[in-house]
A and B are shown apart, each in its own frame.
Chain A
Amino acid sequence: TQLLEQSPQFLSIQEGENLTVYCNSSSVFSSLQWYRQEPGEGPVLLVTVVTGGEVKKLKRLTFQFGDARKDSSLHITAAQPGDTGLYLCAGAGDTGNQFYFGTGTSLTVIP
């Protein structure tokens, strides 16, 4: 099993603040994805990063894949209550048949 550790585990911030969530592993991944999950629902894909050092932007969200493809970060600018949810990173496994999910970061944005 390829372990992905996310930090922080919990984050509660005021609307309008910026935040960064980290996803770290000792393993190298061929690709990494970020998902957001709301209570009682399945995760929804936000982005896929493939190349070491790659940066992708999705409106107020910025995703970065580490140069060594072992870590990633998600930065949210001017957080809104609608950003509240569980953020999950997922790395492609050795066999190429599945994704290993991180431990998750639960974000609460207070209006």
Chain B
Amino acid sequence: DTGVSQDPRHKITKRGQNVTFRCDPISEHNRLYWYRQTLGQGPEFLTYFQNEAQLEKSRLLSDRFSAERPKGSFSTLEIQRTEQGDSAMYLCASSWGQGLGKLFFGSGTQLSVL
């Protein structure tokens, strides 16, 4: 068990560019979550996968954001045409089971949009 891994740890990009983040959950975990967190605030839910199916997506999530989990293992989060307001820490978490359980978080990807 190597924990939840996120890559890259830091990303600096210019406004208007596209960025993609990767999350490798704990291997036997079927549930995967993406959250966004700004400094001093709690994480904000973005989207949730059970295996490869994306079952829930925040209504607040712009259509510039898309996430995939093609084989029910790793996941990617893409942001198109980045804006300065997208600057935040993007956290991935995974868990096991049918219901809500213990979330294991990765260390996050810190995105800075210039």
Contact = CB atoms under 8 A, between A and B. Distances in A.
Interface of A: 1, 4, 6, 9, 31, 33, 40-45, 48, 86, 88, 90, 92-93, 95-104, 106
Given A97-B55, A97-B56, A98-B33, A45 B44 contact: no
B88 to A, nearest CB: 13
Interface of B: 4, 33, 35, 40-45, 48, 50, 55-56, 60, 91, 93, 99-100, 102-108, 110
A45 B104 CA distance: 8
A44 B45 CA distance: 16
Contacts of A42: 4, 91, 93, 105-108
A96 B41 contact: no
A104 B107 contact: no
A90 B99 CA distance: 15
Contacts, number: 63
8 contacts: A1-B60, A40-B108, A42-B107, A42-B108, A45-B104, A86-B40, A96-B100, A101-B44
A101 B35 CA distance: 10
Given A31-B100, A42-B105, A43-B105, A95 B42 contact: no
Given A95-B56, A100-B45, A41 B107 contact: yes
A104 B45 contact: no
